[in-house]
Amino acid sequence: MLRSTSSSVIAALVAFAGYAISFDVSCNSNYVSYYGQNSARNQKSLGEYCKDATEDLIVLAFMNGFPNILLNFANACETTFDGSTLLHCPSMAKDIEYCQSQGKAVILSMGGASGAYGFGSESDGTQFADTVWNMFMKGNAAQRPFDDAVLDGIDLDIEGGGGTGYVSFIEQLRSHYSSDTSKKYYIAAAPQCPYPDAYLGSTLNSAWFDMVYVQFYNNFCGLNAYPNWFNFEDWDNWAKKNSINKDVKVYIGAPGSPSAASSGYVDGSTLTSIYNNVRSKYSSLGGIMTWDVSQARTSGIANSIRSALDNGGTCRKPGGGGEPTTSTNTGSSSSTSESSSSSQYSTSSSTSESNSESSTDENPESPDTTTDMGLSTVVTTATETITSVSTFVTSIFTEVTTESTFTSYLTTVYTLTQSGEDYLSSNAQSSIANTEGEESVKGMSFSSADETADNSIEIATNTNPASDKCPVEGAPCVESMQGCNSVGYALCVNGRWSVYPCFSGTTCYLQGSAAICDWEREYGRDPCNVQPIQRNPSKSTAKMLSALKPDLRPVSAFTADGINSRIEYIPLSVSRGRFSALVKLQTLHVPFDNNWMLSFQLPYGQSIDNVDSGRIVANGTSVSILPKDSADPLPSMAISITVRGRYSWPYRIPDLTIAKVSLH
């Protein structure tokens, strides 16, 4: 097949005229957006989005099937080669060449949230790299979906299957890249924010990547969790320490609107603030990515992003014909009507039919002018995943002076770094001294005369919670209550509800006092359910709670065997040498199925007598909790365990620096 020179001629003329500057991967002011899935249901032709300077790189989504190739670009392309199911997209091909002439890079994304993809062996990956080069880049396949258009690279958005073959695929593709010195080619990835990524973790450490578009949404570490669990630092550390390419660029991936993701959307001003903060701290920053261009243009956040990047970035190369647009919303054709692609750069027309996830696109009326209105996230369903830093939240009781004095309820957050060091939260570093019946905490004095007769704190369950107590983010609540709503599980933190999304496919249930996320099963689900933890604290304890403002939010842990999980340790009662505690385990990708084990070290003088929902294996103070011999009939995403034991005064928390969750 002879390749047309039209695109190179156009690009050369435009560049000579100073109209566009080529995409520069070294900048931290690049804006990347995905195109092809008609997420906002008003997706325009690819070329329309390249008429202005908003985006610098467009990712075509998706090749959602390989090595048996399946392509899906929703309403952008539906026609196929004669006698084949392979999409043939001549109109998109023209648009790709036009976008490149405007200085924008265009790459193809492989994978996606759903599809049939993956390699059975390393050799499969190598062979498929040849296929990709020949069909989408400078090769000579008989059938090329984008005709003579030559893409600028590939993106791996791998959200399922194993990791086999991807390193070989990248190495072979890079060997093809080196054979063509006429242009630059790129390799990108779009991992989810929990580090390391569940599917591409080893590949990211073993293969060359130019850009990584981290999805800071639909996850526990998303933009909406900034700054507490937002973990760009983990990815910056990866870029500097583990990546083969020490100049790899890491992008802040963001939803283009509240409806673009289940969770993680932040408005333009908030995203700008986050970007500027990250830019000031981390040299690996490459810019911002959004899912997807139709959402970002409709909401108006694309304009906010372009402005933030222009004002704060190290370099600005206008990736298009003019200034960013202020309003560019027109509905696209419905799935049953023909649409033609016509503009100043293309006179071809093509029949286009929706082939997106919903199979038919009803295009609602959309406003002609949109601006970023700073809409708050409306969380519906979400995939909750886990941050990379191994951390545990542990709510502890600390006895002061003698056992007969009082039990104060403190909250301590231990952060377990990769080196195993532990840091005590400043909120819990209270100075407690015994001075003749008086206890001081951070300069506050409490008299033992204030104590009640019973200094223990117990859990009291409410078996019939009122349906009108549905937890709402930010609404008032009683401290330490737990509950469920239609989004996920909720904890009362400092008198306000904090709602956390459940893992994809799971639902919140109440088991005793614990709100957990699990598969839909026979728990008697109530999407609006609250289970209060009733305390009877002493006056001194109440004062201490007020002074310390304990943070009861769960913090996630990446544990042994590559398992993403969250562990919570919540003492229920501590009194007169005996204690009980609730241990909650939750996992993301790999459900518990009678094969889990939790191991940790007890403080000196402590022992565990019994547990429910499991059995104990102890060797001195080393303790492992395993499931009961009889397997749960269904795999579980969550385990709730009550442990009971003895302690020698003073009560101390377990040594969490060596706690592990593993499958065996």
- 543-602 pLDDT, tens digit each: 433 443 433 344 444 455 555 666 777 666 777 788 887 777 776 556 677 778 888 888
Contact 263, 7 (CB under 8 A): no
pLDDT surpassing 80 at residue 184: yes
Confidence of residue 111 (pLDDT cuts 50, 70, 90): very high
Average pLDDT over every residue of 341-351: 36
As a whole number, mean pLDDT of residues 182-203 equals 94
Q: What is the dihedral of CA 99, 105, 108, 110, to 10 degrees?
A: -150
pLDDT for res 217: 92
pLDDT greater at residue 161 or residue 243: 243
CB neighbourhood size of 400 (10 A): 21
C-alpha 493 chain-centroid distance: 22
Distance between start and end Cα atoms, the chain: 55
Average pLDDT over residues 483-506: 75
633 or 332: which leads in pLDDT: 633
With cut-offs at 50, 70 and 90, classify the pLDDT of residue 521.
low
Helices (H) and strands (E) in the chain, counts: 11, 31
pLDDT given at position 399: 30
Q: What is the pLDDT of residue 550?
A: 36
Tens-digit pLDDT profile for residues 360-410: 333 333 333 333 433 333 222 233 332 322 222 233 223 332 222 222 222
Task: Decide if pLDDT at 316 tops 60.
Answer: no
Residues with Cβ within 8 Å of 535's Cβ and at least 6 positions away in sequence, in order, are: 409, 457, 458, 479, 480
Tokens found for residue 346:
């293309």
Nearest Cα residue to 286 out of 32, 99, 101:
32
pLDDT at 313: 82
Q: What is the mean pLDDT of residues 326-330?
A: 38
**What pLDDT is attached to residue 579?**
82
CATH 2.60.40.290 range(s) for the chain read: 390-458+535-663
CA distance 294 to 257: 9
The residues that bridge with 207 in the sheet, in sequence order, are none
Between 639 and 60, where is the model more confident? 60
**Bigger pLDDT: 297 vs 600:** 297
pLDDT attached to residue 586: 72
Side-chain-side CA neighbours of 10 within 13 Å: the count stands at 18
Strand intervals (E) in 520-577: 529-531, 556-558, 564-575
Tokens 């958005």 sit on residue: 157
- Considering only the top CATH level, what class is 6-312? alpha beta
Query: Are 134 and 151 spatial neighbours (Cβ–Cβ below 8 Å)?
Result: no
The rounded percent of the chain whose pLDDT value lies above 70 is 61
| Least reliable range by pLDDT among 24-28, 99-103, 297-301, 506-510 | 506-510
Q: Minimal CA–CA distance to 341: which of 94, 136, 57, 145?
A: 94
- The span from the CA of 431 to the CA of 439, in Å, is 9
- Residues marked active site are found at 159
* d(C-alpha 545, C-alpha 408), whole Å: 8
Instruction: Give me the pLDDT at residue 385, please.
Output: 30
The helix/strand/coil state of 427 is: helix
CB 309 within 8 A of CB 339: no
- Beta-carbon contacts of 9 under 8 Å, excluding residues fewer than 6 positions away, are none
> What is the pLDDT, as a whole number, of residue 324?
41
Mean residue pLDDT of the chain comes to 72
**How confident is the model over 217-233, as a mean pLDDT?**
89
Rounded average pLDDT over 643-656: 77
pLDDT at 503: 60
More confidently predicted of 572 and 235: 235
Residue 559's pLDDT is what?
52
- State yes or no: pLDDT of 458 exceeds 90: no
pLDDT at 165: 97
- By the 8 A CB rule, do 625 and 598 touch? yes
Angle among Cα 219, 222, 226 to the nearest 5 degrees reads: 145
**Contacts (Cβ under 8 Å, ≥6 apart) of 23:** 30, 56, 57, 103, 104, 105, 152, 317, 319
The span from the CA of 115 to the CA of 63, in Å, is 9
- Mean pLDDT of the region 412-432: 27
Instruction: Report which of residues 9 and 155 the model is more confident about.
Output: 155
Percent of the chain with pLDDT over 90: 39
Cα–Cα distance, 581 to 621 (Å, whole number) = 17
Class of the CATH-defined domain 390-458+535-663: mainly beta
CATH 3.20.20.80 range(s) for the chain read 6-312
pLDDT at 516 over 60: yes
Residues 252, 648: Cα–Cα separation, whole Å: 49
